[in-house]
Structure 1
Amino acid sequence: MDPEVEERGHWGSKVEFLLAVAGNVVGLGNVWRFPYLCYKNGGGVFLVPYLVFVVTCGVPLFLLETVIGQYTQEGSVTCWRKLCPLAEGIGYGGLLILLYSCMTYIIILAWALFYLVFSFSSELPWASCNNYWNTDECVDFSTANETIRWTNRTNLTSAATEFWERRVLAISGGIEELGGIRWEVLLCLITMWVICYFCIWKGVKSTGKVVYFTATFPYVMLIILLIRGLSLPGAFEGVVFYLLPDPSRLTDSQVWMEAGAQIFFSYSVGVGNLAVLGSYNTYNNNCYRDCLWLCLLNSATSIIAGFAVFSVLGFMAHEQGVSVEEVAESGPGLAFIAYPQAVAMMPLPQLWSICFFVMLILLGLDTHFVVMEVVMTSIIDMFPRVMRRAGRRERFLLLFCLICFISQLIMITEGGMYVFQLFDYYACNGVCILFLCMFEALALGWVFGAERLYSIIKDMTGVRLNSYFKICWLYLTPLISMGSFICSLIEYQPLTFNRWYVYPSWSYVLGWVLALSSILLVPGWAFYKLCAGTGTLGQRLQCLCQPVLDNSSTQTQRTELQTVGAEVLKPFMTK
């Protein structure tokens, strides 16, 4: 190897890998999405479809991706060149989804930082209607009279809602009215980008150290908020609403679809994150045991977060004299309206507001900078001789951050929330990830071979897997992924904002272009490679389905293949 080219490196310790993966998979969705889905879809009964998707898709795919990363020691694109070159489009599709995520996810952190700054005020600005942005329809829940007035009229808005829509977003009437940039949110966004840059600028050397704090401290905050929430009046009613079983919901296909979507999203499968994080492990790391514990941690965190969230929502409903159903929210509505409104009604509201938004920022921060690390690693592994030279990673990372920052300025304008939702709804979630997971399972289970995967795991970890995983990789996972993908298309509902704003037709077209941009990379790449090869169609297909790293290779041979990388792949890809 050229002496100027730096080594790829490994995690400093096993703990760094575990914390990095935990930080990646345990994020905002565990706090603001799972509890609401559980309440909305039958309470405790929702755990039935949730666990079905965990054992048939979540855990098998989680293990599958970690294994291929640890085995190939490559990024999310180049690992496919060694396993199944025909399916390399899966890596490109996942990488594109991560690029879209880098443009949207950090916006949420900027909003959370905005709230955190205002949490240090002598009076929380979303607790009263005495501010310049409030309207005559504003309701102050700090007095009983206003609570009564709220229950008698439906055209009123809470102080928390007006702070979110009129102060933070200054939201316009639609996506056609972008307006000006919110300069305070812009400053928060710059701050978050600077933090993310210095978290990963040295690769796993810096990322592995930062996660010791960012992946553990949110649990401290979550436990504090859980204890506080359960001690509030009305908390029990909130917990009952959260878990009250409704067996009739099991016959609703929408419940099963939302359970599946939650698993694919929260387990971070299909986009290459786990493959990249696993690629920094040593070859003989017991990734099988790691994956089982990390999957358990992810699901347990979601359930515990539900108690923390709904105990507080129960308190808010108790104080307002309404049902929990009327105050329950999901996504940004929970994080920036419902929960802030609830803490404003508690004693020492500033303290609990600070705890909540610190937790939110750290949960989102480690997820975001791990995604950035995955993107960086995948691109650098595609051009190792160019990118692994001294100082080039830092400069390329700076360029990458600037490009993402400039491209998302439109999302912090007065109409930016509409653009943000368009990207989040179409480009980063849903059918895109389901499609990639389906073909990932098919490519590795059938083309690369489930038996070969078993041999690899036995060689790396010394563990012989239960045959159940083979059944999942060959049948259950691809079939359930395909079924979920088809149902998502059939049950598709056009995006709306706040249930009243309907996007113009051109924005739906743009949304589907964003969705298809990652989906079409899979068949598009396969078609390109088949056309670019030589020989008969059968010969080209056989060549592109043949792995470069065979299970009979020794560990020394694998190391040599990684050292000469491009030289090995070039003659193979041009056969």
Structure 2
Amino acid sequence: RNQINFRPCYSCVCDPRTVLGHSDRQTWSSQMDFIMSCVGFAVGLGNVWRFPYLCYKNGGGVFLIPYVLMVFVGGIPVFFLEIALGQFMKQGGVSAWNIAPLFKGLGLASMVIVFFCNTYYIMILAWGLYFLVHSFTFHLPWASCSHEWNTPNCTLDFSRASTFFSFRRKVLRLSGGLDEVGDINSHMVLCLLATWVIVYFCIWKGVKFTGKVVYFTALFPYLVLVVLFFHGVSLPGAVSGIVYYLKPDWSKLRDAQVWIDAATQIFYSYAIGLGALTALGSYNRFNNNCYQDAFVLALINSGTSVFAGFVVFSVLGFMAAEQGVDISKVSESGPGLAFIAYPKAVTLMPVPPLWAVLFFVMLLVLGLDSQFVGVEGFVTGLLDMLPSKSYFSSVRREVVVAVCCITCFFIDLSMVTEGGMYVFQLFDYYSASGITLLWQAFWECVVVAWVYGADRFMDDVARMIGYRPRPYMKWCWSYITPLVCMGVFLFHIVNYKRLVYNGVYVYPWWGEMLGWALALSSMLCIPLTIVYKLLLCKGSLIKVSVHLFQTSYIKHILADQLG
């Protein structure tokens, strides 16, 4: 391949490193900044409120078998691929796919997904901020049924818990359906605005500033988790909750849904397919050992999930014991755990406001770094797409970040109406679901392994870290991971179920179509970009192929020369 002459390309630059993108790009002040940013982004609310519930539902400790297996055949290979790609190309989630120009739609798809995530994920932070503000009182508002928003059905037991009515009627002011938009909740608008302002000032100055902020946002939740753990295990009934969490049910290993849940949770909690990991990796030093980083970060991520289960189920065990019910009656997943089950448990503890404040501060900080790193990934991809000598390239970063935050804020206003929860669920179920992430991860592996070349990419990694990763990584990219992704993807499609909110409200057909439009808006980026590039190119098939794959060859040859 070194005999191929690409002299015209060399004549357009003074330094080959400029073509590789290694010249003037910002880098992290220290490698720990990168580690903390990845921890802050990938370790989020899903580790705390989703994994423990899946573990309990899918056989307790037995669930760890498919989970760990999926970590090594799905999570780590794609996690490493995205970080290494960004580090080698020194570009964000879109431009990094210049290694295979025909498949640049992969970058566009990741931008669409992360934009949707940035839009709806922050609503959880707004709800958390609302609960946090109302926790600074001796009598927690959701501890009783004596408020104007309660109904005669409200009781202090969990079946009709006061926290349920507080969240549903006071915070959400929930209407009857998606077609009943209703009024805007002014209190939630203020909380939403406050969270977006915080996000803006966390990332407006770039990665050097963000790298410092993330030390607090990534580490503080662990401190609170440890405090909540020791408090939780000291409560009566905690041991029963932990046993319920880990009690093995070996028959579950024969259930295909258990393996599907394990794979879906890995791609969800590792933040794969969003382009943000590629953006974070692009700020690394060229010789950073990203291979080692991938395993360290995977250990932290999965370890956090398992530890969070002890924190959650020790408290749920206590609540079940206090109310004399089976723990299955109080176990929740997602927002139900954060804003109904756990707040209810807090009211049964000594000094409820203290534990409420600690819990919601942890919730807020845990989600905050996932949010602002996600926005950082989107902004990085956007800035890298701008032509270097265009008018837009001269626009200050602060302005671009502000425009992104303001745009998302106005979209979010639809989620602070009386029908806002239905909109939120629509985004959550379709826009960044297992289907879209699995589709994205499948194509990432296929393009790197079969279009760019797995051996070539292994060589590129060796140039960065000084040695080739173990062959297992190449086998995963080429065969195992794509098969896992496509298998789980097809399982989701075949077993597709219509979106139902709270087990009662079935979304109308037009709401379902809107949801699929959100999902397809990212998934179709890949085939549509391929068709567009093929139609754009003129000439024989050979000339078209050379043009569409030329960039990847040039990059590789330049890397050869740079050693």
What TM bracket, shorter-length normalisation?
Answer: over 0.9
Q: Which residue of 210, 213, 226 corresponds with 1:223? A: 226
AA at the equivalent of 1:197: Y
Aligned amino acid, residue 322 of structure 1: V
Greater shift, 525-534 or 329-338, is seen at 525-534
- In the TM superposition, what are the counterparts of 1:238-277 in structure 2 within 5 Å? 238-277=241-280
Does structure 2 retain, via aligned residues, the 8 Å contact 1:530–1:537? no
Q: CA deviation at 1:249?
A: 1.1
Map of 1:15 onto structure 2: 32
User: Which range moved further: 500-509 or 461-470?
Assistant: 461-470
2:160 paired with 1:157: yes
1:52-71 matches, cutoff 5 A: 52-71=69-88
Name the counterpart of 1:320. 323
Matched, 1:96 2:112: yes
Residues 383 and 393 in structure 2, CA contact (< 8 A), matched pair in contact too: no
Matches for 1:72-91 after TM superposition, within 5 Å: 72-81=89-98, 83-91=99-107
Which residue of the other structure, out of 35, 51, 65, is the alignment partner of 2:52?
Answer: 35
* TM-score normalized with structure 2 length: 0.94
User: Which residue of 2 is the match for residue 153 of structure 1?
Assistant: none
Are the equivalent residues in 1 in contact too, given 2:460–2:559 (CA < 8 A)?
A: no
Q: 1:231 to 1:386 in 2, by over 3 A?
A: farther
Cα pair 1:441 1:477 within 8 Å, conserved: yes
Q: Is the 1:34–1:302 Cα contact (8 Å) retained in structure 2?
A: yes
Alignment partner of 1:181: what SS? coil
The reply on whether 1:498 has 2:498 as its aligned counterpart is no
Q: Give the corresponding residue for 2:303.
A: 300
1:469 maps to a residue whose letter is: M
Deviations 1:361-400 (CA, angstroms, capped at 9, x unpaired) = 0110000000000000100011144488666211121111
**Which amino acid in structure 1 is aligned with residue 439 of structure 2?**
F
Q: CA deviation at 1:505?
A: 0.8
Question: Which runs of structure 2 are paired with 1:478-517 in the superposition (5 Å)?
Answer: 478-517=482-521
1:338 partnered with 2:341: yes
Deviations along 1:58-114, whole A, 9 cap, x unmatched?
A: 000011111110000001110111x11111001100100111111101010000000
1:539 equivalent to 2:546? Answer no
Question: Contact 1:380 / 1:387 at 8 angstroms: preserved in 2?
Answer: no
- Report if aligned partners of 1:435, 1:519 keep a CA contact under 8 Å in 2: yes
CA distance in 2, matches of 1:549, 1:303: 45
Aligned to 1:105: 121
Q: Which residue of 2 aligns with 1:571?
A: none
TM-aligned CA deviation for residue 157 of structure 1: 1.3
Partners of 2:391 and 2:123 lie apart in 1 by: 28
Q: Where does residue 526 of structure 2 map in the other structure? A: 522
- Give the distance between the partners of 2:548 and 2:240, measured in 1 at CA: 58
1:373 to 368, 371, 376: 376
State how far apart, in whole Å, the 2-side matches of 1:360 and 1:454 are. 39
Structure 1 residue aligned with 2:420: 416
Structure 2, unaligned stretches of length 5 or more?
A: 1-12, 14-22
Query: Could you tell me which of 438, 458, 461 is aligned with 1:454?
Result: 458
Q: Does 1:355 align with 2:372?
A: no
Q: Is the CA contact (8 Å cut-off) linking 2:128 and 2:360 kept in structure 1?
A: yes
TM, length-normalised to structure 1: 0.92
8 Å CA contact 1:116–1:357 kept in 2: the answer is yes
Which residue is 2:68 aligned to?
51
Query: What per-residue deviation string (whole Å, max 9, x for no partner) do you get for residues 413-447 of structure 1?
Result: 01100011001100112211111110110000111
Evaluate the alpha carbon distance shift between residue 247 and residue 179 of structure 1 in structure 2; reply closer, same or farther with a 3 A threshold: same
Distance in 2 of aligned mates of 1:555 and 1:136: 74
Aligned to 1:434: 438
Distance 1:44 1:95 in 2: 36
- Asked if structure 2 preserves the Cα contact closer than 8 Å seen for 1:19 and 1:215, the reply is yes
Letter in 1 for 2:149: W
Alignment partner of 1:551 out of 527, 531, 556: 556
SS in 2 for 1:285: coil
How many Å separate the matches in 1 of 2:225 and 2:427? 29
Question: Which amino acid is 2:396 matched to?
Answer: R
2:113 aligned partner, one-letter code: I
**Residue deviations 1:343-366 (CA, integer Å, cap 9, x gap):** 110001111111111111011000
The amino acid across from 2:289 in the alignment is: N
Per-residue deviation, 1:48: 1.3
Cα pair 1:431 1:488 within 8 Å, conserved = yes
- The change in CA–CA distance for 1:387 and 1:431 in structure 2 (over 3 A counts) is farther
Q: Give SS of 1:551's match.
A: helix
Matched-pair contact (CA < 8 Å) for 2:117–2:432: yes
Contact 1:242 1:310 in 2 (8 A): yes
Aligned residue in 2 for 1:130:
146
Aligned pairs for 1:455-470 within 5 A: 455-470=459-474
Deviation at 1:205, TM superposition (A): 2.1
Counterpart Cα distance in 1 of 2:68 and 2:359: 28
The one-letter amino acid paired with 1:33 is R
Separation in structure 2 between the aligned mates of residue 526 and residue 99 of structure 1, nearest angstrom: 22
Q: Any idea what the Cα deviations from partners look like across 1:459-483, whole Å, max 9, x if unmatched?
A: 1111321111111011001111111
- Unpaired runs of 5+ in structure 1? 142-149, 151-155, 559-575
Which position in structure 1 is the counterpart of 2:10? none
Cα deviation per residue 1:276-301 (whole Å; 9 max; x = unaligned)?
10000010011111111000000000
Contact 1:455/1:551, CA 8 A, preserved across alignment: no
Contact 2:55/2:245 (<8 A) preserved: yes
Residue 139 of structure 1 pairs with residue 171 of structure 2: no
Give, in whole Å, the separation in 1 of the partners of 2:447 and 2:109: 14
What per-residue deviation string (whole Å, max 9, x for no partner) do you get for residues 186-232 of structure 1? 10000000000000001112211111111111110111111111111
Q: Distance in 1 between matches of 2:42 and 2:224?
A: 18
Distance 1:201 1:402 in 2: 13
Q: Are 1:442 and 1:474, in contact at CA under 8 Å, matched by a contact in 2? A: yes
User: In structure 2, the residue corresponding to 1:233 is in which secondary structure?
Assistant: coil
- Find the aligned partners of 2:249 and 2:497 in 1 and give their Cα distance: 24
Conserved 8 A contact 1:27-1:266: yes
Structural RMSD (CA): 1.7
How far off is 1:538 after superposition? 4.1
How far, CA to CA, are the matches of 1:161 and 1:348 in structure 2? 21
**1:534-564 CA distance string (max 9 Å, x none):** 2223432343234054434248869xxxxxx
SS at match of 2:556: coil
